[in-house]
């Protein structure tokens, strides 16, 4: 059996790939409840991470001609990323489990040797008490790092801290 | 509904640690807490599948649209196969590539290395594998460049790769290096992979069979993405 090719950092020059339109997951005409998600990324010293590539993936709503479930945003000079997408619904977990609505989110940057993966849940959604991933996190403060705050109707914010006391929970996927 | 088949854990030593002390930028950007191991649901076992009609290919990096002449540099053909760890082809998957120009400078405002830009080269490409997992593109051999990680630090010649594969859990960002490059032994990024045999999987070999006479040197670079596996989630892994 062959082994997987090793990961390497995406480095500081990945913007050569950047297409800003990819941050809008409605760009192929998807319809549904549109939401926005933004957030700020900081490092272990509290400095803004202004060169990150942030990607999201969602399996709900189902993938279709008008929705491919994938988005990519850079972080800007304020360390902020911005997405526009369709609100996900609950999805099946393993066995009979149900997962609360969520997105998968990946952070790639200079100094990050392998994709940092996490999830984004949404404040106020049902099903978080019984969500199989959230329930693996005992510390309520850490668990809260996966739940985006509602800033206004249809708008959410999730700040990501790469290292330190407020560190986001990252997943071994 | 039956559970989706999970991806297997990575082999021990085959992937870099997040904290790589000789690679300075990892110091404040690595998680200090252990990662939370999660079972693979549909969120992890499925992933972005890009429609080639919506993500047009760019496989001739030596020719920038509108540029009156070819890029400067040593012309190369790069081809290979993308497979999973069980040797199965990964078909119709998008590969993104980006690289410095022949002088070792990126077409990027953040790159202030005092080396010439080539207005006929932007260093960005995109290809898809075919039904057999095969891909190919034409580029120039990128130059080595200094990067200030430590005194007299130079990156080996390399081409950046981004691949998706079948699932969110198979996402891979890597770099392709060139056989015989003496800078590899000195490079903290290349050497951030604990297993030396695993490092070699990032090195492309000159292949005289792919080399096109009177035109371009050929390099073969095969990429292996995670396989789906029988390793049960609860089994103690190498993580
Ligand atoms: Fe590079």
pLDDT in tens, B86-125: 999 999 999 999 999 999 999 999 999 999 999 999 999 9
Domains of chain B by residue range: 43-228
pLDDT band at A116 (very low <50, low <70, confident <90, very high): very high
Structure tokens at A110: 């200079």
pLDDT, mean of residues B192-198: 97
- Count up the domains in chain A and report the number: 1
> Which secondary-structure segment (H or E) carries B201?
none
Structure tokens at B32: 């200090």
**3-state secondary structure at position B91:** coil
Q: Are A4 and A115 in contact (CB under 8 A)?
A: no
B24: Cα within 13 Å, side-chain hemisphere: 6
Out of B31, B98, B225, name the one closest to residue A162 (CB). B31
Left if phi > 0, otherwise alpha if psi is -120 to 50, otherwise beta: which for B39?
A: beta
B positions 123-152 inside 8 Å of A (CB)? 123-124, 126
Please tell me the distance between residue A69's alpha carbon and the centre of ligand 1 in angstroms.
Answer: 28
Between CA B177 and CA B204 the distance in angstroms is 6
Residues with Cβ within 8 Å of B167's Cβ and at least 6 positions away in sequence, in order, are: B7, B40, B44, B45, B46, B47
Q: Residue A1: inside a domain, yes or no?
A: no
Query: What is the predicted pLDDT for the residue at B1?
Result: 64
DSSP label at residue B33: S
The mean predicted confidence, pLDDT, of chain B is: 94
Flag whether pLDDT at B239 surpasses 80.
no
Q: Which domain holds residue A17?
A: 6-160
Residue pLDDT, tens place only, A128-166: 999 999 999 999 999 999 999 999 999 999 999 999 999
Q: Residue A168: inside a domain, yes or no?
A: no
Please tell me the distance between residue B233's alpha carbon and the centre of ligand 1 in angstroms.
Answer: 35
Long-range contacts of A68-73 (CB under 8 A, 24+ apart): A68/A25, A68/A28, A68/B48, A68/B49, A68/B50, A68/B51, A68/B54, A69/A25, A69/B48, A70/A22, A70/A25, A70/B48, A70/B50, A71/A22, A71/A23, A71/A24, A71/A25, A72/A18, A72/A19, A72/A22, A72/A23, A73/A22, A73/A23
A positions 90-149 inside 8 Å of B (CB)? 91-95, 99, 102, 104, 106, 108-117, 119, 132-133, 136-137, 142
Nearest of B125, B128, B203 to residue B165 by alpha carbon: B128
CA B95 to chain centre: 9
Please tell me the distance between residue A77's alpha carbon and the centre of ligand 1 in angstroms.
Answer: 21
Between CA A103 and CA A100 the distance in angstroms is 10
Q: Chain A contacts of B15, Cβ < 8 Å?
A: 4, 6-7, 114
CATH code, residues B43-228: 2.60.130.10
Q: Residue A129: inside a domain, yes or no?
A: yes
The pTM for the full model equals: 0.96
Structure tokens at B183: 């800078």
Residue pLDDT, tens place only, B24-77: 999 999 999 999 999 999 999 999 999 999 999 999 999 998 888 999 999 999
Catalytic site positions of B: 106, 145, 155, 158, 160
How many helices (H) and strands (E) chain B has is answered by 2, 12
C-alpha distances out from residue B221 to B57, B149, B229, Å:
19, 27, 24
Residue pLDDT, tens place only, B132-156: 999 999 999 999 999 999 999 999 9
CB contact under 8 A, A6 and B201: yes
Out of A5, A108, A116, name the one closest to residue B201 (CB). A5
Q: Chain A contacts of B100, Cβ < 8 Å?
A: 13
| ipTM for the complex shown | 0.97
Q: Does B31 touch chain A (CB under 8 A)?
A: yes
A positions 64-93 inside 8 Å of B (CB)? 68-70, 91-93
CATH of the domain at A143: 2.60.130.10
Structure tokens at B21: 């002390």
Q: Does B88 touch chain A (CB under 8 A)?
A: no
């Amino acid at each position: 059996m062959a082994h997987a090719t090793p990961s390497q950092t995406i480095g500081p020059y990945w913007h050569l790939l950047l297409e800003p339109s990819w941050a809008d997951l409605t760009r192929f005409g998807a319809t549904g409840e549109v939401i926005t998600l933004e957030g700020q990324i900081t490092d272990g010293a509290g400095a803004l991470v202004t060169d990150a590539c942030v990607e999201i993936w969602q399996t709900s709503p189902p993938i279709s001609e008008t929705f491919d479930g994938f988005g990519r945003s850079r972080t800007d000079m304020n360390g902020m990323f911005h997405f526009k997408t369709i609100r996900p619904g609950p999805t099946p977990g393993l066995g009979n489990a149900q997962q609360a609505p969520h997105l998968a989110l990946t952070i790639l940057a200079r100094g990050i040797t392998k994709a940092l993966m996490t999830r984004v849940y949404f404040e106020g959604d049902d099903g978080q008490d019984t969500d199989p991933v959230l329930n693996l996190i005992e510390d309520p403060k850490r668990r809260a790092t996966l739940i985006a705050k509602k800033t206004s109707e249809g708008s959410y914010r999730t700040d990501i801290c790469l290292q330190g006391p407020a560190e986001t929970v990252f997943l071994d996927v | 509904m039956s559970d989706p088949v999970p991806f297997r854990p990575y082999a021990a030593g085959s992937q870099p640690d997040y904290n790589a002390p000789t690679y300075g930028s990892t110091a404040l950007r690595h998680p200090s807490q252990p990662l939370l191991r999660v079972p693979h649901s549909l969120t992890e076992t499925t992933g972005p599948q890009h429609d080639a009609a919506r993500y047009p290919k760019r496989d001739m990096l030596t020719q920038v649209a509108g540029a009156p002449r070819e890029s400067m540099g040593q012309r190369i053909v790069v081809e290979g196969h993308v497979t999973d760890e069980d040797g199965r082809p990964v078909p119709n998957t998008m590969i993104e590539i980006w690289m410095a120009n022949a002088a070792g400078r990126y077409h990027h405002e953040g790159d202030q290395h005092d080396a010439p830009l080539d207005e006929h080269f932007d260093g960005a490409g995109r290809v898809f594998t075919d039904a057999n997992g095969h891909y190919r593109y034409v580029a120039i051999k990128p130059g080595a460049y200094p990067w200030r990680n430590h005194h007299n630090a130079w990156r080996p010649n390399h081409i950046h790769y981004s691949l998706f594969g079948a699932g969110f859990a198979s996402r891979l960002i890597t770099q392709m290096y060139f056989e015989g490059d003496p800078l590899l032994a000195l490079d903290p990024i290349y050497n951030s992979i604990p297993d030396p045999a695993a490092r070699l999987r990032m090195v492309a070999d000159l292949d005289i069979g792919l080399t096109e006479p009177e035109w371009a040197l050929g390099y073969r670079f095969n990429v292996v993405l995670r396989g789906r596996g029988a390793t049960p989630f609860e089994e103690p892994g190498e993580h």
